[in-house]
């Protein structure tokens, strides 16, 4: 009984929040009909991850070490920094004397991008802007590291996302892709482009297959004597639909199209990872990182955190994010989505705890 009361309270809260936000959004929409001046699409945010790691290390030191240990470490680091600076100046002078008009050498730069994929691969809009920005500065001795998470989605959307990564390869800039959780189907279509593909030991990899599915209500309409008319030109303009009768000929055509796309997908993966046995892995199955490595689908088993920390030891590492401007309605919509998700998550956690207590 207590469970039902708690669920009722949760439902009342959720409905109240939804109604309140809908009213606010409606009021803003009705009053926001004025023409807005065109502005920037968004903004580029760049963070130096070396500084972030050093800041966390220094904060921990202050909490853990005593004053004498801190002084000793700071003294040692200052001495090492002076030695490194002196060595750098010496190398620069030597290089300048050998080549007066040459560009002064610099440290390697690693640009970190993130791609969080959904069915429509909406993150490609930010990815294309980030890659455009990076390619305006990156050189062949630099590197691009992409943190990729995606269960896959629509073929044409992930085809575009993959093409954005090809732009990096066309400029001969090393591309590393890290998968911490999942790169399946369209996600693996992107991931296989990496010069070095790194996966966490339990990341989900694979699903090299194609699927088409849709509900069909033809028999429901027929039961209630509802006619459905569709006018088209071209024998295969419409093969399967939600309301029309599914014919064997239409089903065979869709199957043929699916097989064709699957063959293209297999060729794409094989071209970029020639070491794999494509016929054994292109079955639609998925594997965890360790299994995927055995099948030559990934190159190393590590998390993106390890890759970034190692990169910070030898390079200047920059996280690059492109954020699109959001209207007030979009922001309110995001608040609604987050609030609803938190409410459902809280209720789910409570109900789970009740079950296992």
Look up the pTM and report it.
0.77
3-state helix, strand, coil in the chain (%, to 5): 55, 15, 30
Q: Which one is catalytic: 37, 237, 280, 313?
A: 237
Rounded Cα–Cα distance for residues 146 and 175 (Å) = 8
> Hunting for tokens 């920037």 — which residue is that?
40
pLDDT at 218: 86
- Nearest alpha carbon to residue 176 among 272, 307, 270: 307
Q: Which tokens hold the place of 192?
A: 């296989």
pLDDT at 64: 85
pLDDT at 242: 87
pLDDT at 172: 97
pLDDT at 179: 98
pLDDT at 345: 60
pLDDT at 161: 98
* Average pLDDT per consecutive 10 residues, the chain (357 residues; last block may be shorter): 58 68 64 50 94 92 82 78 69 58 71 97 97 97 98 96 98 98 98 98 97 88 86 83 87 94 97 96 97 98 98 96 79 64 59 51
pLDDT at 331: 62
β-partners of residue 199 are 179, 301
Angle 90-93-96 from CA coordinates, rounded to 5°: 150
Asked if 301 and 199 count as a contact pair (C-beta separation under 8 A), the reply is yes
pLDDT at 341: 57
Whether 162 is catalytic is no
Per residue in 232-259, is it b (16+ CB within 10 Å) or e — as a string? eeeeeeebebeebeeeeebeeeeeeeee
Q: Which tokens hold the place of 117?
A: 């994929």
**What domains does the chain contain, in order, with CATH numbers?**
109-207+285-324 (3.90.226.10), 208-273 (no CATH)
Whether 237 is catalytic is yes
pLDDT at 347: 59
pLDDT at 233: 87
Q: Which one is catalytic: 126, 150, 157, 185?
A: 185
């Amino acid at each position: 009984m207590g469970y039902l009361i708690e669920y009722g309270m949760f439902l009342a809260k959720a409905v109240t929040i939804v109604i309140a936000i809908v009213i606010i959004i409606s009021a803003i929409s009705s009053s926001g009909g004025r023409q807005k001046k065109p502005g920037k699409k968004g903004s580029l945010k760049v963070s130096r991850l070396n500084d972030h790691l050093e800041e966390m290390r220094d904060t921990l030191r202050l909490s853990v070490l005593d004053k004498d240990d801190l002084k000793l470490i700071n003294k040692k680091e200052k001495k090492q920094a002076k030695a490194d600076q002196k060595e750098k100046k010496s190398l620069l002078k030597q290089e300048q004397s050998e080549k007066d008009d040459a560009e002064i050498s610099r440290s390697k730069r690693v640009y970190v991008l993130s791609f969080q994929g959904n069915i429509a691969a909406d993150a490609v809009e930010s990815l294309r802007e980030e890659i455009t920005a990076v390619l305006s500065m990156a050189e062949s001795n630099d590197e691009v590291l992409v943190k990729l998470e995606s269960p896959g989605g629509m073929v044409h959307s992930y085809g575009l996302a993959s093409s954005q990564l090809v732009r990096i390869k066309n400029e001969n800039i090393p591309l590393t892709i890290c998968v911490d959780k999942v790169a399946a189907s369209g996600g693996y279509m992107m991931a296989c482009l990496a010069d070095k593909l790194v996966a966490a030991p339990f990341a989900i990899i694979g699903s090299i297959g194609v699927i088409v599915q849709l509900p069909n209500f033809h028999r429901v309409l027929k039961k209630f004597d509802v006619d459905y008319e569709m006018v088209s030109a071209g024998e295969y303009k419409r093969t399967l639909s939600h309301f029309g009768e599914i014919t064997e000929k239409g089903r065979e055509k869709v199957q043929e199209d699916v097989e064709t796309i699957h063959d293209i997908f297999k060729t794409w993966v094989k071209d970029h990872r020639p070491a794999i046995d494509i016929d054994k892995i292109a079955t639609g199955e998925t594997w965890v990182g360790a299994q995927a490595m055995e099948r030559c689908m990934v190159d190393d088993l590590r998390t993106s955190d390890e890759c970034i920390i190692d990169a910070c030891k030898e390079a200047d590492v920059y996280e690059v994010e492109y954020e699109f401007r959001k209207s007030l309605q979009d922001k309110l919509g995001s608040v609604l989505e987050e609030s609803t998700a938190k409410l459902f998550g809280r209720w789910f956690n409570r109900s789970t705890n009740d079950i296992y207590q």
